[in-house]
Structure 1
Amino acid sequence: MKTHAEIKKICRILRTSYPDVKTQLIHKTPFELLTATILSAQCTDKQVNSVTPELFKEFPCPKALADADLKKIENIIRSTGFFHNKAKHIKNCARVLVENFNSIVPDNLEELITLPGVGRKTANVVLSAAFGVPAIVVDTHVKRISKRIGLTKHTDPVKIEFDLMRLIPENNWKDFSLHLIYFGREICMARKPGCFCCPVYDLCDYPEKFKKKAEF
């Protein structure tokens, strides 16, 4: 496991490399972000952003989405993949918001995860990006990179989340997740990580990095 000094250095390097980070899901309200985040499962933010303008124009509030025809929702979000399940999730999520929360998106984890289609990752995205609540978002990039760097030995997202919460200062939780996401998209990719140009190469525990360096 990394020392406090090493973790501090990793945070500083990533903050310098990516000084201005924010969620790439386009939204105007917590409801829009919640819906977009559900749609982003196994889909790129870019693809989600291509369908949400039409979706929110047709269904601008939880009540409208809850009352919407399921087939119409499916047709709009089809290109995001798994559209049958996603349509059910966002419609049912909107229904529960209307019935249980007066159409207002909760600002706490405990209530957010009671919504259909909402797990800890989605809840933490909404908490951090919509409400400014410190939260660690463990997506595929964060899961992969935190293990490669040596910040966790786990593969379970919840265990990784709690490992990172223990290691990273709370005031850096939101940005740290985004730093890893940006870093994962640009350099530390799943199949071909750019170890030869990695700013945290000397602090990384990834065993394949030496092979990557030698190949370069």
Structure 2
Amino acid sequence: MKREAIREFFRRLHDADPEPKTELEYASPYQLLVAVVLSAQATDRSVNLATRKLFAAAPTPEAMVSLGEDGVAGHIRTIGLFRNKARNTVALSRLLLERHGGEVPAGREALEALPGVGRKTANVVLNTIFRQPVMAVDTHIFRLANRTGLAPGKDVVAVENALLRRVPKEYLLDAHHWLILHGRYVCTAHKPKCGECCVRDLCLYRDKTA
């Protein structure tokens, strides 16, 4: 996709949703971090259903450590890999207390040193909480970037780097949210809703649907 088309692509996404937000529910940076860790291989809806009760019982790192792995697991057992995620949630909460005074750090290296936190999770937190112009590439964004010709790449890191180069600076801060929502609800995996897509004419996907 050419530069002019990319700029128009994001202009339209911006006009359709000027202030895009994550669909994960949270009341603090810590809660967003936990929610993103829990969202791996799970839907935001299923995570929200679980964290409403989890965060009511343990809204802070101190409370989460006190709740313990079994207590956390009891609240999130409807989410895939819940036992491993419960272990990581308690462990990262403990490290936040030990290393960062219970606060979520604003640096990638410190975030990725926490259990269960990889590059994508760190990018979500850095972008959503600390408003850093980074790009968290999940399966939706990876598919959309390759399918549309926006930023093709063989793996998520290649797509991330391509997006950072190609997205106009004025749109970069919110690009992650626009792309994930567009991939989740319009440019879906099996039956993309091309007929209701606001950037259909800019997209290079050959197999567009009616």
Structure 1 length-normalised TM? 0.91
Q: What displacement does 1:114 show?
A: 1.0
The one-letter code matched in structure 2 to 1:194 is K
Alignment match, 1:142: 141
Q: Check whether the contact 1:134–1:171 (CA below 8 A) recurs between aligned residues.
A: no
Alignment match, 2:202: 203
2:48 is the counterpart of 1:44: no
Q: Check whether the contact 2:7–2:168 (CA below 8 A) recurs between aligned residues.
A: no
Q: Check whether the contact 2:151–2:166 (CA below 8 A) recurs between aligned residues.
A: no
Alignment match, 1:154: 153
Q: Check whether the contact 1:18–1:182 (CA below 8 A) recurs between aligned residues.
A: no
Identical counterparts, % of pairs: 40
Q: Check whether the contact 1:25–1:45 (CA below 8 A) recurs between aligned residues.
A: yes
For residues 197 and 69 of structure 2, the distance between their equivalents in structure 1, rounded to whole angstroms, comes to: 45
Report 1:165-204 matches (<5 A): 165-204=164-203
Q: What displacement does 1:53 show?
A: 2.2
The one-letter code matched in structure 1 to 2:114 is L
Farther off after superposition, 195-204 or 134-143: 195-204
The one-letter code matched in structure 1 to 2:35 is A
Q: What displacement does 1:186 show?
A: 2.2
The one-letter code matched in structure 2 to 1:21 is P
Alignment match, 1:55: 54
Q: What are the Cα deviations for residues 174-211 of structure 1, in whole angstroms up to 9, with x where unaligned?
A: 311111122122211111001223222222122222xx
For residues 37 and 191 of structure 1, the distance between their equivalents in structure 2, rounded to whole angstroms, comes to: 25
Q: What displacement does 1:161 show?
A: 0.8
Farther off after superposition, 127-136 or 83-92: 127-136
Q: What displacement does 1:7 show?
A: 0.9
For residues 121 and 197 of structure 1, the distance between their equivalents in structure 2, rounded to whole angstroms, comes to: 29
For residues 68 and 23 of structure 2, the distance between their equivalents in structure 1, rounded to whole angstroms, comes to: 28
Q: What displacement does 1:153 show?
A: 2.7
Runs of 4+ in 1 over 3 A off after TM superposition: none
Structure 1 residues not aligned, in runs of 5+: none
Q: What are the Cα deviations for residues 123-157 of structure 1, in whole angstroms up to 9, with x where unaligned?
A: 11111111222221212211110111112332421
Q: Check whether the contact 1:137–1:174 (CA below 8 A) recurs between aligned residues.
A: no
Structure 2 residues not aligned, in runs of 5+: none
The one-letter code matched in structure 1 to 2:96 is L
For residues 4 and 171 of structure 1, the distance between their equivalents in structure 2, rounded to whole angstroms, comes to: 14
For residues 129 and 73 of structure 2, the distance between their equivalents in structure 1, rounded to whole angstroms, comes to: 26
Report 1:106-145 matches (<5 A): 106-145=105-144
The one-letter code matched in structure 1 to 2:99 is N
Root mean square deviation of aligned Cα: 1.5
Q: What displacement does 1:45 show?
A: 1.1
For residues 55 and 178 of structure 2, the distance between their equivalents in structure 1, rounded to whole angstroms, comes to: 29
Q: What displacement does 1:62 show?
A: 1.1
Farther off after superposition, 140-149 or 191-200: 191-200
The one-letter code matched in structure 2 to 1:103 is G
Q: Check whether the contact 2:68–2:90 (CA below 8 A) recurs between aligned residues.
A: no
Farther off after superposition, 12-21 or 108-117: 12-21
2:7 is the counterpart of 1:5: no
